[in-house]
């Protein structure tokens, strides 16, 4: 099933999403989209699956972004974490976390923003909404860490355990006024520390290929590139 209720509600369209790696999966997308009356298909595919990528392109899919996944093994002896200004978020922090996400992602161009047929104002809400849900909805994130500076939240990290051995740093943001002060690095190290205490052996982080500052930051903290995936959009014409 392709249908994505959250995306469909946000953009007032029937949107479908899929992560694929096989040629037959790619060839069946159009048929499934017709059956589900999907107007926009969003597909993520590993960058090394060239035959699948070529099939998607021949079927009218357009490249919107490329995600880089990085990871590092974690153990207590390797983590240099100063958590003096870092604590776990509570529900009362939801407004502050949402506000930081709104300001820090204001000029961010993800695959939704890259598609000029999607309304910009709806795309702008994605990261603030996601950040807020990370704090308020337990199933979205397992932990949200916040960095406080002079009793004001200056950044946050939302974490999700992918499996018992691996934790995903799925959403990080630092207030624009507080960037380039080591807060991102502190949150990253604290995230590794939290994951290690939960029994995880690996920490994963993903961001866009164009997000050079974040890529530099995580690689300086011992992360190495693990894999990459392209995101494609296809407008089907179905209504």
* pLDDT digits 0-9 by tens, 47-56: 999 999 999 9
The size of the chain, in residues, is 239
Task: Between 84 and 125, name the one with better pLDDT.
Answer: 125
Confidence of residue 79 (pLDDT cuts 50, 70, 90): low
pLDDT value for 96: 98
Split at pLDDT 50, 70, 90, the class of 42 is very high
Rg (CA), the chain: 19
Distances, alpha carbon 17 to alpha carbons 41, 48, 92, 108, in Å:
6, 20, 32, 21
pLDDT at 61 over 80: yes
* DSSP per-residue string spanning the chain: --B-HHHHHHHTS-EEEEE--SHHHHHHHHHHHHHHT-SEEEEEEETT-HHHHHHHHHTT-EEEEEEEEEEEE--GGG-----TTEEE--GGGHHHHHHHHHHHTTT---HHHH-TTS-HHHHHTHHHHHHHHHHH-TTT-SEEEEEEETTEEEEEEEEEEEETTEEEEEEEEE-GGGTTSSHHHHHHHHHHHHHHHTT-SEEEEEEETT-HHHHHHHHHTT-EEEEEEEEEEEE----
Give the pLDDT mean for 217-226. 94
| Residue 208 pLDDT greater than 90, yes or no | yes
| pLDDT given for residue 141 in this prediction | 98
Give CA torsion, residues 101, 95, 178, 197, to 10 deg: -80
Q: What is the tens place of the pLDDT at every residue in 88-137?
A: 999 999 999 999 999 999 888 899 999 999 999 999 999 999 999 999 99
pLDDT in the model for residue 83:
74
Share of the chain above pLDDT 70, in %: 96
Q: How far apart are CA 159 and CA 10, in angstroms?
A: 24
Confidence (pLDDT) at 109: 84
pLDDT above 80 (res 81): no
- The residues, any chain, with a CB within 8 Å of residue 56's CB and separated by 6 or more, are 26, 29, 43, 45, 232, 234
Average pLDDT over every residue of 197-211: 95
- What is the CATH T-level fold of the domain 71-227, as seen in this structure? Aminopeptidase (3.40.630)
pLDDT bucket at 28, cuts 50 / 70 / 90: very high
Position 75 scores a pLDDT of 80
Does the pLDDT value for residue 82 go beyond 90? no
């Amino acid at each position: 099933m392709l249908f994505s209720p959250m995306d469909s509600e946000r953009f007032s369209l029937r949107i479908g999403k899929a992560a694929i790696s096989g040629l037959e999966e790619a060839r069946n997308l159009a048929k499934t989209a017709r059956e589900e009356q999907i107007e926009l298909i969003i597909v993520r595919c590993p960058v090394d699956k060239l035959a699948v990528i070529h099939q998607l392109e021949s079927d009218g899919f357009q490249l919107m972004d490329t995600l880089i996944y990085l990871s590092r093994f974690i153990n207590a002896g390797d983590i240099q974490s100063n958590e003096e200004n870092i604590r776990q978020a509570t529900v009362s922090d939801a407004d502050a976390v949402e506000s930081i996400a709104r300001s820090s992602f204001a000029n961010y161009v993800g695959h939704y923003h890259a598609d000029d047929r999607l309304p910009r104002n709806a795309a702008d809400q994605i990261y603030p909404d996601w950040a807020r849900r990370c704090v308020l909805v337990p199933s979205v994130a397992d932990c949200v860490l916040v960095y406080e500076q002079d009793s004001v939240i200056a950044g946050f990290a939302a974490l999700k355990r992918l499996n018992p051995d691996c934790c995903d740093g799925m959403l990080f943001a630092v207030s624009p006024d507080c960037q380039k002060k080591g807060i991102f690095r502190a949150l990253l190290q604290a995230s590794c520390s939290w994951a290690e205490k939960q029994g995880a052996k690996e920490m994963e982080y993903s961001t866009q290929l164009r997000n050079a500052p974040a890529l530099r930051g995580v690689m300086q903290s011992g992360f190495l590139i693990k894999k990459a995936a392209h995101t494609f959009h296809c407008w089907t014409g179905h209504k």
